[in-house]
C-alpha cells in the first residue's frame, strides 16, 4: 500500500528533526514545516518538501498543505511538534512571552487540525500526533504558562479524539519528560534557564534524547489503524516529577 503524506511542524531541529528522519527511513513522503527549515534542507532528502512556515499563520499553513498534497497526494498524518518554552515568574515575565507560548503551543496545534481534518474525515482515515509534555500533567516551578499550554494540548487532544473517533482518525499525545534539545536556550530569564539546565545535568546520561521521542511517535503510528495509543508518557527513569 502506498504510504500517505506525513506533515511535521517544528521539523528543523530536536524532536521534530529526529521524527522527520525516522519517518523518512520508514518510507513516508514528508512535508516538513518550520520558521527556519535550512537545517533539514541541507540533508537533501528525496520524497520530501521543506517549507518555511509560522504555525500561527493559518493562511500560509493552508498554502503549505496544498503544496504538499500536489506533490505527494493525500495527507495521512499530522505531527504537531512545534513549540516553545519560556519559563519565568508571572510578575516579571513579559506578556509577549505568554502570548508567544499560547500562539505556538496551542493555536499552532489548532491551526494544523483546522487545515487537515476535513480531508481526513472525508477519507475516513488519518493519524494526528500532538506533542504534549509531562509539564501538562504536573506543575513545575516558574513554568506556569508553559504548563498551561501543554495541559491545553492534552485536553484538546482527548476531546478531539472523542469527536472524530467514528471517522477512523487516531489522536495520539506524546508527553515527554526531560529531553536533551535546544528548548532551554529559548528562555530570556537566564537564572531560570541555568536552574533548568542544572536539573537536566543532574540526570546525566539518563536524560532522554530526541530519538527516544521519535521512536515513540513511530511506534504509535505504526500500529494498525484500528489501534489508537491515546497517550504515551515518556521520561528518564531517574526523573521523579
CB-neighbour burial class of residue 175 (10 A; exposed 0-12, middle 13-18, buried 19+): buried
Q: What would the mean pLDDT of 76-93 be, rounded to a whole number? A: 92
pLDDT value of residue 182: 64
Residues with a catalytic annotation lie at 146
Confidence category of residue 165, pLDDT binned at 50, 70, 90: very high
Does 1 have pLDDT greater than 80? no
Q: What would the mean pLDDT of 114-124 be, rounded to a whole number? A: 97
pLDDT value of residue 190: 64
Q: What would the mean pLDDT of 26-51 be, rounded to a whole number? A: 95
Does 2 have pLDDT greater than 60? yes
- Cell digits of residue 228: 489508537
pLDDT > 90 fraction of the chain, expressed in percent and rounded: 80
Q: What is the mean pLDDT of the chain?
A: 92
- Cell digits of residue 182: 535546544
pLDDT > 70 fraction of the chain, expressed in percent and rounded: 89
Q: What would the mean pLDDT of 147-156 be, rounded to a whole number? A: 98
Distance CA 6, CA 126 (A): 10
85 neighbors 186 (Cβ within 8 angstroms): yes
Confidence category of residue 184, pLDDT binned at 50, 70, 90: low
Confidence category of residue 180, pLDDT binned at 50, 70, 90: confident
131 neighbors 14 (Cβ within 8 angstroms): no
Which sign, positive or negative, has the C-alpha torsion 229, 32, 36, 180? positive
79 neighbors 216 (Cβ within 8 angstroms): no
Q: Closest Cα to residue 151, out of 217, 105, 200, 87? A: 105
Does 195 have pLDDT greater than 70? no
> Would you tell me which CATH number, out of the four given (3.40.50.2300, 3.40.50.720, 3.40.1280.10, 3.30.70.141), belongs to the domain 5-234?
3.40.50.720
Question: Domain residue spans in the chain?
Answer: 5-234
pLDDT value of residue 197: 60
Amino acid at each position: 500500500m502506498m504510504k500517505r503524506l506525513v506533515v511535521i511542524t517544528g521539523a528543523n531541529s530536536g524532536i521534530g528533526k529526529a521524527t522527520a528522519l525516522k519517518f523518512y527511513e520508514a518510507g513516508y513522503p514528508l512535508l516538513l514545516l518550520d520558521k527556519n527549515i535550512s537545517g533539514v534542507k541541507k540533508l537533501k532528502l528525496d520524497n520530501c518538501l521543506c517549507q518555511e512556515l509560522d504555525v500561527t499563520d493559518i493562511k500560509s499553513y493552508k498554502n503549505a498543505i496544498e503544496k504538499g498534497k500536489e506533490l505527494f497526494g493525500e495527507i495521512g498524518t499530522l505531527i504537531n511538534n512545534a513549540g516553545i518554552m519560556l519559563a519565568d515568574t508571572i510578575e516579571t515575565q513579559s506578556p509577549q512571552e505568554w502570548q508567544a507560548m499560547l500562539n505556538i503551543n496551542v493555536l499552532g496545534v489548532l491551526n494544523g487540525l483546522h487545515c487537515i481534518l476535513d480531508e481526513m474525515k472525508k477519507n475516513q482515515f488519518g493519524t494526528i500526533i500532538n506533542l504534549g509534555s509531562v509539564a501538562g500533567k504536573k506543575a513545575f516551578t516558574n513554568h506556569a504558562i508553559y504548563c498551561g499550554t501543554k495541559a491545553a494540548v492534552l485536553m484538546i487532544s482527548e476531546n478531539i479524539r472523542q469527536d472524530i473517533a467514528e471517522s477512523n482518525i487516531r489522536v495520539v499525545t506524546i508527553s515527554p519528560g526531560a529531553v536533551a534539545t535546544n528548548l532551554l536556550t529559548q528562555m530570556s530569564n537566564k537564572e531560570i534557564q541555568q536552574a533548568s539546565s542544572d536539573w537536566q545535568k543532574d540526570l546525566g546520561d539518563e536524560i532522554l534524547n530526541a530519538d527516544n521521542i521519535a521512536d515513540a511517535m513511530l511506534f504509535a503510528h505504526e500500529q494498525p489503524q484500528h489501534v489508537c495509543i491515546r497517550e504515551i508518557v515518556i521520561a528518564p527513569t531517574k526523573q521523579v516529577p
